[in-house]
Structures are given as structure tokens and as C-alpha cells.
């Protein structure tokens, strides 16, 4: 997927199709992908209106985004919604200063989620201008560097943790062992 950064043949359409949407004057307007993203680092932001951690992180990301833009950094965020319906998307995206994959493009949103191995939200991946993944866990990078002094955050990865199903299984096994092998003693 990555192309030589000096090559003019790379097109963001190979990742995002032809169009993104952005907010202009309170309306969602379609923009050409290559026009919006050419020559920029791209942060792919997976988030949803209904997700409390997402709603807490979005303002942090917006502040960092604004600072980086003010400092002349070539960055664009592409919001990939995990919302349940168009109304949630419209409300949430209305507060964002960047572009988004159109909500109606379910297939593209699903493909991007699989490509970037999204297992939970919010999830932020930073790509170089040639689409090379620079930072698989840009969410942690933004939290650690809110002023963007270390941008483009090369190499930050997802924290290593046990997946939730394994934690639930471990808890269940612990409970079963304690309940059946070490029952509470009856009071005399």
C-alpha cells in the first residue's frame, strides 16, 4: 500500500476512495480525497458519539490538531465513525474540525477498521504522506504530547494488555475454583 514519498503516483484514493466530507458553514460538503490529503500526514480516527472515552478524547485531539495546524504542520485527521446511525454521526462530526469518511459508506468504514486492526475505540493511527504507518497508537502519543512537540510520533504502539475475553475467562475460572474447591465454612 505504501508508495515512495517522492512519487507523484501515490493517491490517497487507494485507501479512502474518492470523497471525504468536511464541515463548512454548518453543512457537510464532499471534498476530493487527494485535494484534502495530498502531501499531508493523515491521522485516521476511529470513534463514536455513544462512546464516553471517545467523547473525552475528541476535544484533546482537536486541541492538538489546532496547535499543529497553527504551527504549519501538514496534518489532516480523517474521522471513521463507529456510530450506530446517521443522526449520531451528524451530531458528533458537527463538532469536529477535520474530514470524515461519509457515514453512508459502511463498506469502507469496515475495511478501514479491519486494515488498522481496530479492537476498541477511540483508536488513532498516524500515516505518513505516502500512507506508511508511522504510529499505530497515536492516541497515546497525543495524550503524552498534547502540544505536538514530538510530532509525527514515530513508533508509539498500542499498550500491551490482555484482551477482555481472556480477563473474563480468568475471572470465571478463579470464581469457580474458589466456590467449589474452597467453599465458605459454616459458622458454628
| pLDDT tens-digit readout, 124-163 | 999 999 998 998 889 989 998 999 898 888 765 544 444 5
Predicted pLDDT of residue 19? 92
Predicted pLDDT of residue 4? 41
- Asked if residue 1 belongs to a domain, the reply is no
Q: Tell me, yes or no, if the pTM score tops 0.75.
A: yes
- Asked if residue 34 belongs to a domain, the reply is yes
Q: Which mean pLDDT values do the consecutive 10-residue runs of the chain (188 residues) have?
A: 47 88 90 92 96 94 95 95 95 94 94 92 94 89 90 65 60 76 70
In sequence order, the β-bridge partners of residue 79 are 45, 100
Predicted pLDDT of residue 62? 96
Q: Collect contacts of 100-105 with beta carbons under 8 A, ≥24 apart.
A: 100/20, 100/21, 100/22, 101/16, 101/20, 101/21, 102/19, 102/20, 102/21, 102/30, 105/17
Q: Domain count of the chain?
A: 1
Q: How far apart are CA 134 and CA 34, in angstroms?
A: 20
- Asked if residue 50 belongs to a domain, the reply is yes
CA nearest neighbour of 103 among 124, 81, 130: 81
- Asked if residue 100 belongs to a domain, the reply is yes
CA nearest neighbour of 82 among 41, 42, 112, 125: 112
Predicted pLDDT of residue 25? 83
Owning domain of residue 50: 13-181
In angstroms, what is the C-alpha Rg of the chain?
Answer: 20
Burial group, residue 104, by CB count within 10 angstroms (0-12, 13-18, 19+): exposed
For the beta carbon of residue 78, count every other beta carbon within 10 angstroms.
Answer: 23
For residue 135, what is the domain's CATH number?
3.40.30.10
- Asked if residue 2 belongs to a domain, the reply is no
Predicted pLDDT of residue 78? 97
Q: How far apart are CA 82 and CA 65, in angstroms?
A: 21
Amino acid at each position: 500500500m505504501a508508495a515512495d514519498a517522492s512519487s507523484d503516483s501515490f493517491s490517497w484514493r487507494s485507501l479512502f476512495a474518492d470523497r471525504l466530507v468536511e464541515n463548512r458553514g454548518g453543512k457537510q460538503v464532499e471534498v476530493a480525497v487527494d485535494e484534502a490529503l495530498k502531501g499531508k500526514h493523515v491521522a485516521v480516527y476511529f470513534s463514536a458519539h455513544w462512546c464516553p472515552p471517545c467523547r473525552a478524547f475528541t476535544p484533546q485531539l482537536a486541541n492538538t490538531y489546532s496547535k499543529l495546524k497553527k504551527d504549519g504542520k501538514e496534518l489532516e485527521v480523517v474521522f471513521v465513525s463507529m456510530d450506530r446511525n446517521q443522526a449520531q454521526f451528524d451530531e458528533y462530526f458537527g463538532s469536529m474540525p477535520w474530514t470524515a469518511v461519509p457515514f453512508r459508506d459502511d463498506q469502507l468504514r469496515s475495511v478501514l477498521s479491519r486494515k488498522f486492526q481496530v479492537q476498541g475505540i477511540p483508536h488513532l493511527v498516524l500515516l505518513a504522506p505516502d500512507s506508511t504507518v508511522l504510529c499505530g497508537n497515536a492516541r497515546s502519543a497525543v495524550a503524552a504530547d498534547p502540544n505536538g512537540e514530538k510530532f509525527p510520533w514515530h513508533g508509539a504502539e498500542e499498550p500491551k494488555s490482555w484482551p477482555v475475553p481472556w480477563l473474563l475467562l480468568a475471572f470465571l475460572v478463579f470464581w469457580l475454583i474458589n466456590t467449589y474447591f474452597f467453599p465458605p465454612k459454616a459458622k458454628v
